[in-house]
């Protein structure tokens, strides 16, 4: 059962050490009538200052709002000048507001372009995503479906002599927008307590930040200058949230890492083991941990390797200049990842399914140009095996013979179509299907995700006597001719239920479960970190929010 409660973020007064109110800079040369001047951070304040650019006037309007994304701050919102331009003083509230709104919109546009179709928000009403640049004092950022928002924090940093604001990091903003995008594509993932699914949500955010950082060829010249064109060398694409990370490094109790400036680094050689086998720890830069942000680095690292392979292909096979080859890498891997996600199981996101999905997507839309490299990357990292590749081929060859002769027009129609063919699809008899997402891309392909629920007893010590809902999942993909091209059904087996229980136990150990009988109906902890489940009567209900908890508690070093 998803908890979907629309709510505005509560106002928070500025704290001591917060940046000064913005002052409007003098007017500059007027841009074309349909465009306005703005400035955003390229990746992160620690990488460099803001860059000026032109954007469509409709992206920012007169209230830093468009039909999909809008600023909802608890501080005075910056206003455009007489020509509609948004230019803010460095360190001002307006600087953070502009960065958060523009980067969020650009990231959504990027994913819709890569997917070839619209991505609907999953929260009730489906209106604009609210972006809150100054949610609260602290070191954090998170996406919340029940609030319909992404939320960013701020904190004075004596060691950096600045106010660290997560809304200023384009890495962080892209990451949190990635959570919202994935929730729109796969709403079932935030309805699962499965630990690896939570880790994939975080990894998708990190992959989003990497792709977003490669969108501008001119800015990619910085990466080439930084690495000499060798992506195996340290670089700002692999590093995420440099300013945030540097503050954390300089304020923790480990002087050995003070020279490192990142929250996470996707240049790693981690290999797969189950996250449960690693416990709850976050590991370190060279050791994989079972904490979901730490475990996410495994998939993000594999994806970075894929970007590097695509970059090399752009250099050698497309004869592109290095900076253009970086953009080519993003424009190659972005569509592959979105296609892999679309066709993955509807109710949980496991690394293996995404790796196999990338290989299949490369064959479907990239003529198999990177197939061998992607296979090797995921085989070497032990995310997939040779038997997985064989089973994938067998699964594809045994798809049910189903067709549709038109485009679906409603969620109800999809559920009725699927229910009528439940026996042919091997679905449990009598299950009540709910369509949670439906898309039609520019190739004429349709993808539908459906869930069905089963109530099970909670077997976690300390939570006995409660029940919770777990979801089975169905994914249907049809080609442009209406023929079923992919099908996934993940049923509710005893092993599946145990994975959910393991995830609930993990949440319990980390203080992420709220008993509503003992506290108010507010699903954000006092320290700004979101609860991920609530006890309501005798029912344990999942709260659809990202699991970001990167405060000063020391539990994790990452978003």
Summarised one tens digit per residue, pLDDT across range 407-445 is: 999 999 999 999 999 999 999 999 999 999 999 999 999
339: closest CA among 495, 482, 443? 443
Per-residue confidence at 12, pLDDT binned at 50, 70, 90?
very low
Mean pLDDT of 312-323: 98
Consecutive H or E run containing 51: strand 50-56
Distance CA 166, CA 248 (A): 13
Who's near 382: CB < 8 A, 6+ residues apart?
271, 272, 273
pLDDT at 330 over 50: yes
User: Is the pLDDT at 461 greater than 90, yes or no?
Assistant: yes
Structural domain includes residue 529: no
Q: Which tens digits make up the pLDDT trace of 95-144?
A: 999 999 999 999 999 999 999 999 999 998 889 999 999 999 999 999 99
Q: Is 502 part of any domain?
A: no
Residue 555 in this model has a pLDDT that exceeds 50: no
Give the pLDDT mean for 267-276: 97
The tens digit of pLDDT for each residue in 469-503 reads: 999 999 999 999 999 999 999 999 999 999 999 99
Is residue 94 within 8 Å of residue 88, measured between CB atoms? yes
Q: Residue 186 domain-assigned?
A: no
Which of the four pLDDT bands, split at 50, 70 and 90, describes residue 29?
Answer: low
Q: What angle do CA 367, 371, 376 make, to 5 degrees?
A: 175
Average the pLDDT over each of 46-50, 343-347, 354-358, 547-551 and give the range with the smallest value. Answer: 547-551
pLDDT at 516: 76
- pLDDT, residue 525, reads 77
Q: Is the pLDDT of residue 3 over 50?
A: no
Q: Which structural domain range is residue 159 located in?
A: 35-168
Characterize 20-53 residue by residue with b for buried, 16 or more Cβ atoms within 10 angstroms of its Cβ, and e for exposed: eebebeeeeeebeeebbbbbbbbbbbbbeebeeb
Q: Is 442 exposed, middle or buried (0-12, 13-18, 19+ CB in 10 A)?
A: exposed
On whether residue 47 sits in a domain, the answer given is yes
Residues contacting 274, CB < 8 A, separation 6+: 196
pLDDT at residue 20 tops 50: no
CA 414 to mean position of chain CA atoms: 26
Tell me the mean pLDDT in the region 348-369: 98
Determine how many CB atoms are found less than 10 A away from the CB of residue 239. Answer: 25
3-state class (DSSP) for residue 78: coil
pLDDT in the model for residue 15: 30
Q: What is the pLDDT of residue 100?
A: 98
Average pLDDT, the chain: 91
Q: What is the pLDDT confidence band of residue 552, given thresholds at 50, 70 and 90? A: very low
Which of the four pLDDT bands, split at 50, 70 and 90, describes residue 30? low
Q: Is 7's pLDDT higher than 50?
A: no
Q: 27 falls in which pLDDT band (50, 70, 90)?
A: very low
pLDDT number for residue 524 = 74
Q: Which residues have CB under 8 Å from 372's CB, separation 6+? A: none
Contact 184, 120 (CB under 8 A): yes
| pLDDT for position 32 | 67
pLDDT value, residue 550: 53
Residue pair 205/175 in contact by the 8 Å Cβ criterion: yes
Higher pLDDT, 32 or 348: 348
- Give the pLDDT score at 360: 98
Q: Does residue 55 sit within a domain?
A: yes
| DSSP-assigned states of every residue in 149-184 | EEEEEEEEETTTTEEEEGGG-HHHHHHHHHHHHHHH
Which helix (DSSP H) or strand (DSSP E) does residue 447 occupy? Answer: strand 446-457
Say if CB 338 and CB 111 are below 8 A apart: yes
In this model, does residue 554 exceed pLDDT 80?
no
In this predicted structure, the answer to whether residue 4 has a pLDDT above a threshold of 60 is no
In a domain? residue 143: yes
DSSP string covering 277-289, please?
GGTT---BTTB--
92 is a domain residue: yes
Q: What is the CA radius of gyration of the chain?
A: 23
pLDDT digits (tens, 9 = 90+) for 243-258: 999 998 999 888 888 8
Greatest Cα-to-Cα distance within the chain, rounded to the nearest angstrom: 69
**Token pair belonging to 451:** 């869930």
Mean pLDDT confidence for 18-25: 39
Q: pLDDT value at position 11?
A: 29
Position 253 scores a pLDDT of 86
To 5 degrees, how large is the angle CA 44–CA 351–CA 394? 145
**Residue 33 pLDDT:** 77
Structurally, the chain folds into a number of domains equal to 1
Instruction: Read off the pLDDT of residues 197-247 as tens digits, 9 standing for 90 and up.
Output: 999 999 999 999 999 999 999 999 999 999 999 999 999 999 999 999 999
């Amino acid at each position: 059962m998803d908890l979907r409660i629309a709510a505005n973020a509560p106002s928070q007064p500025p704290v001591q050490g917060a940046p000064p109110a913005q002052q409007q800079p003098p007017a500059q040369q007027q841009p074309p009538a349909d465009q306005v001047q703005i400035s955003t951070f390229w990746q992160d304040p620690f990488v460099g200052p803001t860059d000026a650019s032109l954007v469509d006037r409709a992206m920012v309007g007169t209230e830093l709002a468009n039909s999909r994304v809008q600023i909802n701050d608890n501080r005075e919102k910056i206003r455009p000048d007489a020509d509609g331009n948004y230019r803010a003083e460095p360190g001002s509230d307006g600087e953070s507001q502009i960065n958060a709104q523009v980067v969020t919109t650009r990231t959504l546009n990027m994913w819709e372009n890569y997917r070839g179709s619209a991505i609907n928000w999953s929260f009730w009403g489906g209106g604009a995503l609210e972006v809150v640049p100054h949610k609260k004092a602290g070191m954090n950022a998170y996406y919340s479906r029940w609030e319909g928002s992404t939320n960013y924090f701020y904190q004075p940093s004596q060691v950096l002599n600045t106010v660290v604001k997560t809304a200023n990091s384009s890495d962080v903003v892209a990451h949190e927008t990635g959570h919202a995008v994935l929730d729109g594509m796969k709403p079932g993932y935030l309805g699962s307590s499965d630990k690896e699914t939570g880790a994939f949500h975080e990894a998708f955010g990190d992959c989003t930040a990497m792709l977003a950082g490669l969108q501008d060829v001119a800015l990619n010249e910085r990466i080439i200058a930084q690495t000499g064109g060798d992506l195996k060398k340290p670089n700002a694409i692999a590093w995420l949230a440099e300013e945030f990370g540097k503050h954390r490094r300089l304020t923790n109790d480990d002087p050995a890492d003070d020279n490192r400036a990142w929250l996470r680094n996707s240049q790693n050689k981690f290999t797969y083991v189950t996250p449960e086998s690693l416990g709850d720890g976050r590991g370190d830069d060279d050791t994989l941990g079972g904490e979901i942000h730490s475990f996410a680095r495994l998939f993000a690292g594999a994806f970075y390797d894929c970007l590097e392979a695509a970059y090399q292909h752009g250099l050698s096979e497309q004869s592109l200049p290095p900076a253009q080859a970086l953009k080519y890498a993003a424009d190659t891997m972005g569509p592959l990842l979105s296609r892999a996600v679309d066709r993955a199981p509807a109710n949980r996101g496991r690394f293996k399914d995404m790796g196999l999905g990338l290989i299949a997507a490369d064959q479907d839309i990239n003529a198999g140009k990177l197939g061998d490299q992607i296979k090797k990357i995921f085989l070497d990292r032990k995310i997939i095996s040779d038997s997985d590749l064989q089973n994938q081929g067998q699964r594809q060859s045994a798809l049910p013979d189903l067709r549709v002769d038109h485009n679906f027009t409603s969620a109800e129609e999809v559920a009725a179509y699927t229910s009528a063919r439940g026996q042919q699809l091997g679905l449990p008899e009598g299950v009540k299907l709910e369509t949670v997402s439906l898309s039609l891309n520019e190739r004429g392909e349709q993808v539908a995700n459906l869930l069905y629920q089963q109530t099970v007893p909670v077997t976690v010590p300390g939570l006995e006597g409660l029940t919770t809902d777990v979801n089975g999942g169905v994914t249907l993909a049809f080609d442009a001719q209406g023929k079923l091209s992919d099908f996934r059904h993940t049923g509710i087996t005893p092993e599946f239920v145990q994975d959910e229980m393991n995830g609930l136990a993990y949440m319990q150990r980390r203080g992420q479960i709220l008993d509503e009988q003992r506290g108010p109906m507010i699903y954000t902890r006092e320290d700004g970190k979101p609860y991920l489940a609530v006890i309501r009567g005798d029912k344990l209900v999942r709260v659809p929010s990202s699991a970001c908890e990167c405060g000063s508690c020391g539990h994790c070093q990452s978003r």
